[in-house]
């Protein structure tokens, strides 16, 4: 789907005759502005494997409210909307970006959400970013954006922001600049975020069914050590559920990726193949927190 960029720069003048009226309108607009959620849609291109030439493409939503900011995949919102419109027809989406976060607006502390197979977890991180703002500018549609750089999560980032949109927010965890981030990418071009559309929401959207929980799976609170252990456990035996079923019912055929698995030997072959995939596509945006997998064969 192609989006048209709708942000328009204000061109209000300042005629002295109507100065008081303009001040009053500005105050009223400010109250209305604070009552809304500002929604910004970014195109995210990323490399699941840093050696790839091709990108995976996603549309991500940044919702900036008065008190809370959320960043998540647009497909999550679409699945939830389908369920609500047609009476819960079990339309579900599993996030593949690993970039679902929410925070108090303007705060460096993020609540992160994570799927591990059938389970859904949340954990907190504090992610301060120390920006260096340059004098360099460029044109972004009708806006002049300014360059800033920072080291974050084991990567060097280049951001372009505009003070004409006075929101100190950006996609994912990229907060703290004196204006909205329009574009940001790392110097290896593994992750590229580009603003493509904006909307104003008069009322807040209920996200309990797909952000705070994942279509019925309420997020379980964990800490960083538990996150690492859960991911390593999944890597060591990604088909533990299927292994248990196969052991309990000798006559049961297990379907994995469209292939029938009839015994432990065939299951172990699938485990080895999945471990190779997990190791290959281990390129998270927070590179410093990447799990150091080593192949373990059953």
pLDDT in tens, 23-64: 444 444 443 444 578 999 999 999 999 999 999 999 999 999
Average of pLDDT values for 239-249?
80
- Which of 79-93, 192-206, 258-272 bottoms out in mean pLDDT, i.e. has the lowest? 79-93
Cα 195 to Cα 178: distance, rounded to the nearest angstrom: 17
The residue with greater pLDDT, 7 or 74, is 74
pLDDT in tens, 66-103: 899 999 999 888 887 787 777 665 656 778 899 999 99
Cα 210 to Cα 216: distance, rounded to the nearest angstrom: 8
Q: State what percent of residues in the chain have pLDDT above 90.
A: 60
Instruction: Name residues whose C-beta falls within 8 Å of residue 114's C-beta, 6 or more positions apart in sequence.
Output: 98, 100, 120, 121, 122, 123, 227
Cα 26 to Cα 21: distance, rounded to the nearest angstrom: 9
Judged against a pLDDT cut of 70, whether residue 260 lies above it is answered with yes
Q: What is the mean pLDDT of the chain?
A: 85
Measured at the CA of 47, the angle between CA 61 and CA 290, to 5 degrees, comes to: 90
Model confidence at 257, pLDDT cuts 50, 70, 90, reads: confident
What is the structure's pLDDT at 3? 42
What is the structure's pLDDT at 247? 74
Q: State what percent of residues in the chain have pLDDT above 70.
A: 83
pLDDT in tens, 141-194: 999 999 999 999 999 999 999 999 999 999 999 999 999 999 999 999 999 999
Instruction: State the pTM of this model.
Output: 0.84
Domains of the chain, CATH where assigned: 16-214 (2.50.20), 223-289 (no CATH)
């Amino acid at each position: 789907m192609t989006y048209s960029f709708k942000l328009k720069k204000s061109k209000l003048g300042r005629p002295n005759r109507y100065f008081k009226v303009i001040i009053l309108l500005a105050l009223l607009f400010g109250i209305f502005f604070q009552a809304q959620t500002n929604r910004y849609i970014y195109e995210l291109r990323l490399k699941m494997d840093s050696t790839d030439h091709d990108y995976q493409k996603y549309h991500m939503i940044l919702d900036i409210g008065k008190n809370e900011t959320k960043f998540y995949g647009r497909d999550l919102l679409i699945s939830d909307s389908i369920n609500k419109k047609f009476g819960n027809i079990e339309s579900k989406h599993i996030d593949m970006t690993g970039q679902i976060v929410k925070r108090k607006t303007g705060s460096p502390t993020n609540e992160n959400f994570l799927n591990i197979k059938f389970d859904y977890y949340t954990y907190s991180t504090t992610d301060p970013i120390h920006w260096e703002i340059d004098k360099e500018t460029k044109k972004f549609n009708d806006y002049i954006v300014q360059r800033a750089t920072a080291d974050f999560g084991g990567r060097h980032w280049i951001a372009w922001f505009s003070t004409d949109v006075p929101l100190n927010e950006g996609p994912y965890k990229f907060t703290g600049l004196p204006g909205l981030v329009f574009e940001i990418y790392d110097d290896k071009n593994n992750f590229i975020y580009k603003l493509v559309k904006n909307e104003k929401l008069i009322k807040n959207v209920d996200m309990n069914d797909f952000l705070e929980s994942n279509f019925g799976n309420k997020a379980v609170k964990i800490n960083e050590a538990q996150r690492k252990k859960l991911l390593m456990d999944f890597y060591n035996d990604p088909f533990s559920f299927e292994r248990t079923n196969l052991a309990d019912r000798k006559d049961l055929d297990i379907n994995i990726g469209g292939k029938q698995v009839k015994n432990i030997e065939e299951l172990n072959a699938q485990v080895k193949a999945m471990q190779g995939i997990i190791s290959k596509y281990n390129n998270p945006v927070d590179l410093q927190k990447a799990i150091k997998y080593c192949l373990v064969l059953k």
